[in-house]
Amino acid sequence: MVVGDFAIDVDTVVVGGGPGGYVAAIRAAQLGQKVVLVEREKVGGVCLNVGCIPSKALISSSHRFQEAQDSEEMGVTVENVKLDFSKVQSFKDSVVQKLVGGVESLLKGNKVEVVHGEAYFSSNNSIKVAQENSSQTYEFKNAIIATGSRPIEIPGFKFGKRIIDSTGALNLEEKPEKLVVIGGGYIGTELGTAYANFGTQVTILEGTKDILGGFEKNMTQLVKRNLKKKDVDVVTQAMAKSAEETENGVVITYEDKKGDAHTIEADYVLVTVGRRPNTDEIGLEQIGVKMTDRGIIEVDKQSRTSVENIYAIGDIVPGLQLAHKASYEGKVAAEAIAGEKSEVDYIGMPAVCFTEPELASVGYNETQAKEEGLDYVTGRFPFAANGRALGLNKTDGFVKIVARKEDGLVIGAQIAGNGASDIISELSLAVETGMTLEDIALTIHAHPTLGEIPMEAAEAALGRPIHSM
């Protein structure tokens, strides 16, 4: 029986419950708005359920397994290290469940109504949410679209049992003996590294001249060196052509830079060549929301679309597809709806890759500063000269700070090394708040910590390093 559809009036509708949507919904509710959050599946979206969170749990488990086998130098020898992959998956799932439950509690505590179903815009003031046996219309004053993205499927590689996307790679029931990864970006390299730590024979096929194209070469060189130690075969300028599933595996055909064809047999092939915005089939064209040919929504500095009362955030708007970017934009959009003067400013937006070593960057790197014609200085300090890094036996990498020469204003920083994902926050704060090299150098950093490395890099940029020449 179909339930009658009587429109419900709300202040703000948020479409999509990922890291952008649920944050936007909570902030809007905090600012006094009556909010409905529409989510097709589970709150937390891709990031929490099948992306950032489960992948990092899997990566952490792979580190434990690898370190248990390789700590002789530190005086620890473990014999017969065993991998129970089902327990790895159980641990990963438990982390996800805890966080999903936490987000659900936060939404409830902030009086956000969560509705599960498929959303479709009927007009610029109404949306219909379809469920299995019913539908419900909501009349709204403002709406925030936060529908995220999905993996791109390439010709010759239709997703199936053996041809998988990142979600499939996170939910394998057993560790593959052989894995081919198509795409050497951050997702492919992270997951390829994790499975290599578990003992899988991994091949990465990348179409461009290098993997991890968003980072400087002196950073990616460290990652490639570690991949080589793990017997990961990285093939660049390789064009994936086709994949044929067999009873127990898959055969991948690719062409090298000379145009010669090669085949690889594997248990699975993981395709990570990018993500497509989820802006189709929700009625945006009908209400006049302007988009690019790729489905990216055009927005202003307050995340407002071409339709004045409709906002868009996250993977569906220009810029990097990052969970923390979506959350940031979600807060800005909710505050703009409430009449505040919030605007997006990406100058302090960090990017992180959980490879080995970890990579992180914020603001300008040296190449970009040079291309912009800026008069700059840099300071660099190696992990190998830091006491804490030596004690952890994690000495690969460095911190580099880029600053304006005239006044030492910090305009960017890059980190390759253990804990880069955590250390970058100090340097993001420095860029965001307009700190100088002096500010960082004069801040007392606890010893012995990895956190001292930015201080040492700042002193190097000032020309008066203590622990380096």
Binding residues: 56, 147-149, 183-190, 206, 274, 315
Q: Which of 159, 160, 205 is nearest to 179 (CA)?
A: 205
The CA radius of gyration of the chain, in Å to the nearest whole number, is 24
Integer Cα distance of 423 and 388 in angstroms: 13
In 10 A of CB 51, how many CB atoms? 22
Integer Cα distance of 173 and 170 in angstroms: 9
Residues of each annotated binding site for FAD: 56, 147-149, 315
Q: What is the DSSP string of 379-403?
A: EEEEGGG-HHHHHHT---EEEEEEE
Asked if 212 and 184 touch (Cβ cutoff 8 Å), the reply is yes
CA angle centred on 164, ends 163 and 167, rounded to 5°: 175
- Can you say whether residue 373 is alpha, beta or left, with left for phi > 0 and alpha for psi between -120 and 50 degrees? left
Find out whether the peptide bond into 465 is cis, omega within 30 degrees of 0.
no
Residues in the chain: 469
Among the options 63, 262, 445, 447, which is catalytic? 447
* Two structure tokens written together for 23: 């944050």
Burial of 247 (0-12, 13-18, 19+ CB in 10 A): exposed
Q: Reduced to 3 states, what is the DSSP secondary structure of residue 136?
A: strand
Residue 116 annotated in active site: no
> N- to C-terminal Cα distance for the chain?
78
The 3-state secondary structure of 348-380, one letter per residue: HCCEEECCCCCEEEEECCHHHHHHCCCCEEEEE
Amino acid identity of 82?
K
Q: Catalytic residue positions?
A: 447
